[in-house]
């Protein structure tokens, strides 16, 4: 299937590792040009070099709305516009103290809202504008991350569907993807495996497939939803979890 992504201009936050990097790499493989951001400048430079010609990146914290706006503007200039936005960064706030709630709100919620708001003038000019927000299965059922992480991931699904409804008439689609447990080197579950083996064993036991997902499996869902091939899909939340969750999604 031709996804129609050749020449499309894509923004991905948190694009240097894990799901974000897999998303950026798959967009490039499909012929798009990509701009990424992340907090570590060296990792941004290395990732952009690996993505190849025409790609762009900057180091920043998505909780800084002014920095996000500057990156979006610089990205639009470097890429020649913006067609697709993928807000991917999370504070991973699984604690339940005030600091975790604050970090989750500033990063997960406002980091997403800031990049969408800043990109909207360019999305309005695109003939295939699309927003895909990375949520989580923790946003649709109660699990060990049922504090700020789960609450804000649920809010992102609501936000994406609101964007879809309010922008449908302008040709701007919006969806969310909710990954299940995703394992990669240096990621959350890799660290849990090394440091909290009992928790890791409990988490593995919940996966009916006998394994966790891979970043590239999440990326495929995101890239399809973002692409012109999914031109009539908007306002949906796509769960990619290997049957981990048990709630029925009507």
Looking at residue 85, the DSSP 8-state letter turns out to be E
Catalytic residue among 135, 138, 178, 227: 135
214 has catalytic annotation: no
Q: How far apart are CA 225 and CA 86, in angstroms?
A: 11
Helix (H) or strand (E) holding 113: helix 110-123
153 has catalytic annotation: yes
130 has catalytic annotation: no
Instruction: Please give the structure tokens belonging to residue 7.
Output: 């020449």
Task: Using CA atoms of 121, 119, 239, 148 in order, give the dihedral in degrees to the nearest 10.
Answer: -120
CB contact at 8 A, 176 and 157:
yes
Collapse the DSSP code of 116 into the 3-class scheme (helix H, G, I; strand E, B; otherwise coil) and give the result: helix
Catalytic residue among 153, 159, 176, 178: 153
Catalytic residue among 136, 176, 178, 227: 136
114 has catalytic annotation: no
Catalytic residue among 149, 159, 176, 183: 149
Active site residues per annotation: 135-136, 149, 153
């Amino acid at each position: 299937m031709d996804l129609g992504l050749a020449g499309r201009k894509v923004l991905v936050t948190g694009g240097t590792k894990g799901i974000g990097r897999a998303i950026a790499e798959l967009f490039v493989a499909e012929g798009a040009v990509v701009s990424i951001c992340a907090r570590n400048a060296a990792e941004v430079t290395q990732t952009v070099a690996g993505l190849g010609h025409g790609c762009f990146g900057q180091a920043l914290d998505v909780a800084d709305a002014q920095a996000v706006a500057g990156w979006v503007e610089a990205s639009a200039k470097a890429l020649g516009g913006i067609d697709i936005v993928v807000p991917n960064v999370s504070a991973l706030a699984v604690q339940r103290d005030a600091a975790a709630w604050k970090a989750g709100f500033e990063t997960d919620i406002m980091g997403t809202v800031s990049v969408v708001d800043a990109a909207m003038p360019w999305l309005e000019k695109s003939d295939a504008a699309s927003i895909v927000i990375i949520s989580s299965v923790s946003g649709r059922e109660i699990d060990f991350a049922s504090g700020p992480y789960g609450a804000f991931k649920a809010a992102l699904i609501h936000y994406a569907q609101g964007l879809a409804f309010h922008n449908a008439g302008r040709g701007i689609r919006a969806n969310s993807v909710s990954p299940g447990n995703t394992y990669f080197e240096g990621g959350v579950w890799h660290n849990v495996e090394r440091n909290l083996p009992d928790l890791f064993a409990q988490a593995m036991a919940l996966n009916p497939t006998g394994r966790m997902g891979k970043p590239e499996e999440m990326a495929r869902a995101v890239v399809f939803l973002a692409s012109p091939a999914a031109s009539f899909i908007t306002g949906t939340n796509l769960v990619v979890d290997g049957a981990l969750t048990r709630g029925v999604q009507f």
